[in-house]
Amino acid sequence: MKFLKYILGAGALTGFLFSCHHMNSGDFINSELTLIHEADSLMRVLTVEDSLDNAVLRAPSKDFSIRALRSEEFAKLSRLMVATVTHPSQDGVGIAGPQVGLNRRIVAVQRFDKGTIGVDGEMVYPFEVYPNIRIVWASDSLSSGPEGCLSVPGRRGEVLRSHEIVVEYADLAAVRSDCSTDDIPMVKDTVKGFTAVIFQHEVDHLDGVLYIDRL
């Protein structure tokens, strides 16, 4: 997602330090593993201008297994997605799995509701990664705002979005700390305002929906 008329702060991502040993790649398929392993520091962003890319962007995404969430591949994918969306060539505020070629329920979102003052006195807004994410509630209060998209270059439009939402996603801290369970612990988060808009835009991607479908 790329929003116009908004100055981005510096992004940050907490590193993934897994305590579970003997991790494998979980349910990643070979094509996904190849995409992750062959990426160096950035991933290619798919666009609607390419027919093969568009097919991926329009396909629904599936959840990660708990073994995949504990894998080195997931950790690398998370780092790559944040590096890609924050690169000057993209300068975005959010990105979803399908946009980098994986139909997986994962988004990286810049949290403008979690700003802190950096060492230089400027506001810093962290990027956070959310796997297996869904919107489980959205307010009836709507507002319209300008949206653009890294996968729809050169276009913009006004989109109606809910002012407040509740998202549910896999709790990575719990996944990392408790290696004895095969159940994926989930957590909910209430988000408002501009950050809620980013979440709605990115979660749409996971269902094969682009903002241009909502114009």
Full DSSP string of 6-67:
----B----------SS---TT--HHHHHHHHH-SS--PPP-TTSHHHHHHHTS--BPPPHH
The answer to whether residues 78 and 92 touch, using CB atoms and an 8 Å cutoff, is: no
Contacting residues for 147 by C-beta, under 8 A, at least 6 apart = 1, 3, 156, 157, 158, 159, 197, 201, 211
In angstroms, the CA 171 to CA 119 distance is 29
The answer to whether residues 26 and 65 touch, using CB atoms and an 8 Å cutoff, is: yes
Strand partners, 142: 162
In angstroms, the CA 24 to CA 215 distance is 42
Q: Which residues are known to be catalytic?
A: 202
In angstroms, the CA 116 to CA 105 distance is 28
Which one-letter DSSP state was computed for residue 101? Answer: T
